[in-house]
């Protein structure tokens, strides 16, 4: 046998080709290891499912499961539809039309990206519920019997989440609309399409991958939220997982229920892939000119401005104004002991978010490029699995990370004990190491979709030409890919940064002592109805979130010129 293997067909391949194959395999190894490490906590969780408990599923089915499943589907379709409409509509309005203040609105529409949904939730709750100022005023005008529908409901949660999540769609839609060449657009107009027809028959289908990616991001975020839906009495499966985990201390139950969420996430990803289609649209020709904007006048211009003002008012001005009013009142009426606490919390939050963003984006680039270079089926599946984290609630991921790292920590301490060294303590789960791990698992898909989407911009022909001319793969990556994807990487880093700042459950479970973040402070205070105290950290998350948003505006603007 040993002799026979020497003359297998593989041996017959030209030596040069074999060398290339080996090199490619080597380059795929590192991305695979990284992807594997990202998948590991999820796999560890899944392995606890080998013995499903039918008794538990039956109990769940008899109690909270049907309502939670229904609510989850309602929330997902509501948020998906609303963010798609708002995001695409506004992106089209600001790229295709000219009206007064257009440039200002174009940037301002990104602002709600800085507002965490649970902050939006408690501000809307405090403002619009029965005891809030709006209804109190309305009752003063229309009498005590005035009773609008209760905001503590499904539509309240959908509205509030869509108002802060639409920028995901807007951002990606706007980028896609801008990249569309004027030539394509002009061809459509020459064919006699109206602007509207062009939009629905050409622009939207061409931008579909971006639109669907943005919508999927928004839906996944909505799916993993537990704090906002709790404020609005709209229990979803995510909320149920946290409820089981915390309330019943039922870890096995929570983990099994999270499998259900994993299923929903898979459906969502499948849906995204299907909607995206197999098509890869590459613009031919060089950087072409953007189609000219059609000027709006009179009533149409007023309507356009009105739509922008209404949206920005509801999604940004109102929450920020209310938070500022509370914060001023808090600062005036409190003893001033908050200052030191506040400085520490701010430092913690910013440091964690920056580190997590950097690490996550580089790992995402590594995996995305690895998969792209040798897009074997196995590599694709691993990459897909590695990005499942975004669809899982932070609490579940934190559990997976604990399950994965705790034995390592114990082993390290055991070795130290045997060697008579001083015990190092929990160097993984007791430091920001564990937390970083959870952040990467949780948010790598945010970075991955963005990096992957921009890698798709790199035309296969570019790489082929460069390679033909003798450039090494590394040089191709550095000189061709990186400049082309840098915008995508920055966008990815910003999205991860903002997401980490808003993250609650995993941070609660894994942060080292003294690493309390602003989000934790906000949620705890808001849950106790200390609106004024909650406003201060909430405003800071918002303000820090504005820095990357401002950066995003500038990058977007430069791309424009």
Partner 1 sequence: MPTLRRFIVLALLAALISAGANAAAAQGRQIVNIYSSRHYGAMEQMFVKFTQETGIEVRLSQGSPQALLTRLEQEGAQTPADVFFSVDTGSLVLAAERGLFQPIDSEVLRANVPEALRDPENRWFGLSQRLRTIVYNPDKVDPSELSTYEALADPKWNGRLCLRPATHVYTISLVASMIAALGEEKTEEVVKGWVANKPQLIDSDTRILETIAAGGCDVGITNHYYVGRLYAQNPDIKVKIFWANQEDRGVHRNVAGAGVTANAVNRENAIKLLEWLSDAEKGQAGDETGLPGGNYEYPVNVRARLNPIIEAFGTPKIDALPLSELGKYQKAAIDLLGRAGY
Q: Which of residues 362-381 bind partner 1 (CB under 8 A)?
A: none
Sites for partner 1 among residues 492-511 (CB under 8 A): 493, 497, 505, 508-509, 511
Q: Which stretch binds partner 1 (CB under 8 A): 74-82, 161-169, 468-476, 490-498?
A: 490-498
Q: How far apart are CA 398 and CA 204, in angstroms?
A: 38
User: What is the footprint of partner 1 within residues 7-46 (CB under 8 A)?
Assistant: none
Dist. CA 131–CA 338, nearest whole Å: 28
Structure tokens at 445: 């898909």
Binder among 9, 26, 336, 514 for partner 1 (CB under 8 A): 514
Q: Among residues 220, 171, 87, which one has the least CA distance to residue 453?
A: 171
Q: CA-based angle 13:16:20, to the nearest 5? A: 100
Contact predicate 234/157, CB 8 Å: yes
- The piece of 195-203, 260-268, 333-341, 375-383 that touches partner 1 (CB under 8 A) is 333-341
Task: Provide the minimum distance between the beta carbon of 95 and partner 1 in the complex, in angstroms, as a whole number.
Answer: 23
Angle (CA) 388-485-376 rounded to 5° is 50
User: Least Å distance between CB 158 and partner 1?
Assistant: 18
Does 137 bind partner 1 (CB under 8 A)? Our answer is no
Residue number, 272 or 409, with CB nearest to partner 1: 409
Residue of the chain from 249, 299, 419, 469 that contacts partner 1 (CB under 8 A) = 249
Binders of partner 1 among residues 94 to 133 (CB under 8 A) are: 125-126, 129-131
Residues 226-245 close enough to bind partner 1 by CB under 8 A? 230-231, 233, 235, 239, 243, 245
- Shortest gap between Cβ of 247 and partner 1 (angstroms)? 5
In the list 124, 170, 185, 350, the residue contacting partner 1 (rule: CB under 8 A) is 350
Q: Which of residues 423-462 bind partner 1 (CB under 8 A)?
A: 423, 425-426, 429-430, 432
Strand partners, 294: 97
- C-alpha 482/C-alpha 466 separation (Å) is 14
The smaller minimum CB distance to partner 1, of residues 89 and 154, is found at 154
Q: Say whether residue 347 binds partner 1 (CB under 8 A).
A: yes
Alpha carbons within 13 angstroms on the beta-carbon side of residue 226 total 22
Binders of partner 1 in range 194-213 (CB under 8 A): none
Nearest residue (CB) to partner 1, 202 versus 538: 538
Q: x-or-dash pattern for partner 1, window 391-430, by CB under 8 A?
A: -----------x---x--xx--x---------x-xx--xx
> Residue 165: CB partners within 8 Å, gap ≥ 6?
79, 83, 117, 217, 218, 221, 222
Q: How far is CA 522 from CA 167, 439, 538, in A?
A: 23, 19, 6
Whichever of 29 and 325 has its CB closer to partner 1, that residue is: 325
With CB under 8 A as the contact rule, which of the stretches 62-70, 170-178, 202-210, 452-460 interacts with partner 1? 62-70
In the complex, least distance from residue 145 CB atom to partner 1, rounded to whole angstroms: 10
Q: Is 305 in the site for partner 1 (CB under 8 A)?
A: no
Contacts of 515 (CB under 8 A, 6+ apart): 348, 352, 432, 435
Q: Where does this chain touch partner 1 (CB under 8 A) — which range of 13-21, 200-208, 462-470, 521-529?
A: 521-529
Output phi, psi for 249, to 5 deg: 55, 30
Beta bridge partners, 97, equal 294
Are 94 and 177 in contact, with CB atoms under 8 Å apart?
no
Choose among 523, 527, 521, 518: nearest CA to 545: 518
Size of the site for partner 1 (CB under 8 A): 78
Q: Is 70 in the site for partner 1 (CB under 8 A)?
A: no
Contact 164, 116 (CB under 8 A): yes
Q: How far is the CB of 131 from partner 1 (least distance, A)?
A: 4
Least gap, CB of 341 to partner 1 (angstroms):
7
- Give the one residue of 251, 273, 280, 297 binding partner 1; rule: CB under 8 A: 251
The least CB distance from residue 527 to partner 1, in Å, is 7
Whose Cβ is closer to partner 1: residue 471's or residue 555's?
555
* The two three-digit tokens of residue 37, written as one number: 């490490």
CA distance 323 to 317: 10
Contact predicate 88/162, CB 8 Å: no
DSSP state of 114: G
Tokens, residue 166 = 């639409």
Of 453 and 489, the one with the shorter C-beta distance to partner 1 is 489
DSSP code, position 9: G
* Tokens standing for residue 341: 């606490």
Per CB under 8 A, 289 contacts partner 1: no
């Amino acid at each position: 046998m040993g002799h026979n293997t020497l003359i297998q067909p593989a041996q017959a391949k030209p030596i040069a080709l074999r060398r290339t194959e080996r090199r490619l395999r080597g380059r795929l190894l590192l991305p695979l290891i990284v992807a594997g490490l990202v998948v590991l906590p999820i796999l560890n969780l899944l392995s606890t499912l080998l013995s499903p408990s039918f008794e538990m599923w039956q109990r769940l089915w008899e109690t909270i499961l049907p309502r939670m499943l229904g609510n989850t589907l309602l929330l997902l379709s509501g948020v998906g539809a609303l963010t798609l409409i708002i995001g695409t509509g506004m992106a089209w309005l600001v790229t295709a039309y000219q009206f007064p203040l257009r440039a200002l609105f174009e940037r301002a529409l990104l602002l709600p990206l800085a507002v965490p949904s649970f902050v939006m939730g408690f501000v809307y709750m405090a403002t619009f519920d029965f005891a809030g100022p709006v209804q109190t005023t309305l009752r003063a005008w229309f009498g005590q019997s005035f009773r609008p529908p209760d905001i503590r409901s499904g539509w309240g949660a959908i509205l509030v989440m869509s108002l802060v999540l639409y920028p995901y769609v807007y951002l990606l839609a706007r980028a896609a609309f801008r990249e569309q060449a004027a030539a394509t657009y002009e061809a459509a107009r020459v064919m006699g399409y109206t602007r509207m027809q062009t939009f629905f028959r050409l622009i939207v289908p061409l931008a579909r991958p971006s639109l669907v990616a943005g919508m999927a991001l928004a839906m996944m975020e909505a799916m993993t939220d537990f704090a906002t839906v709790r404020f609005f009495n709209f229990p979803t499966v995510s909320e149920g997982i946290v409820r089981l985990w915390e309330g019943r201390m039922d870890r096995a139950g929570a983990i099994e229920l999270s499998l259900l969420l994993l299923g929903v996430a898979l459906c969502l990803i499948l849906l995204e892939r299907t909607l995206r289609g197999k098509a890869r649209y590459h613009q031919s020709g060089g950087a072409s000119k953007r189609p000219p904007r059609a000027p709006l006048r009179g009533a149409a211009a007023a309507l356009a401005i009105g739509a922008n003002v209404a949206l920005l008012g509801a999604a940004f001005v109102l929450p920020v104004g209310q938070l500022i009013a509370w914060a001023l009142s808090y600062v005036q009426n409190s003893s001033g002991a908050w200052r030191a606490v506040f400085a520490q919390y701010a430092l913690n939050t910013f440091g964690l978010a920056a580190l997590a963003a950097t690490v996550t984006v580089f790992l995402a680039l590594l995996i995305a490029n690895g998969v792209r270079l040798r897009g074997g089926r196995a590599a694709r599946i691993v990459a897909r699995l590695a990005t499942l984290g975004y669809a899982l609630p932070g609490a579940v991921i934190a559990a997976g990370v604990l399950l994965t790292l705790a034995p390592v920590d114990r082993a390290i301490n055991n070795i130290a004990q045997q060697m008579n060294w001083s015990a190092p303590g929990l160097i993984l789960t007791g430091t920001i190491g564990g937390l970083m791990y959870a952040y990467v698992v949780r948010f790598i898909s945010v970075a991955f979709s963005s990096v992957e989407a921009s890698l798709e911009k790199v035309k296969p022909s570019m790489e082929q030409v460069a390679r033909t001319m003798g450039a090494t793969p590394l040089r191709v990556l550095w000189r061709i890919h990186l400049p082309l994807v840098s915008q995508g990487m920055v966008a990815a880093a910003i999205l991860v940064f903002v997401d980490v700042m808003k993250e609650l459950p995993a941070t609660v479970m894994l942060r080292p002592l003294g690493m309390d973040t602003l989000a934790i402070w906000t949620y705890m205070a808001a849950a106790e109805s200390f609106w004024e105290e909650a406003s201060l950290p909430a405003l800071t998350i918002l303000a820090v979130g504005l820095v990357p948003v401002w950066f995003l505006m500038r990058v977007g603007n430069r791309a424009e010129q």
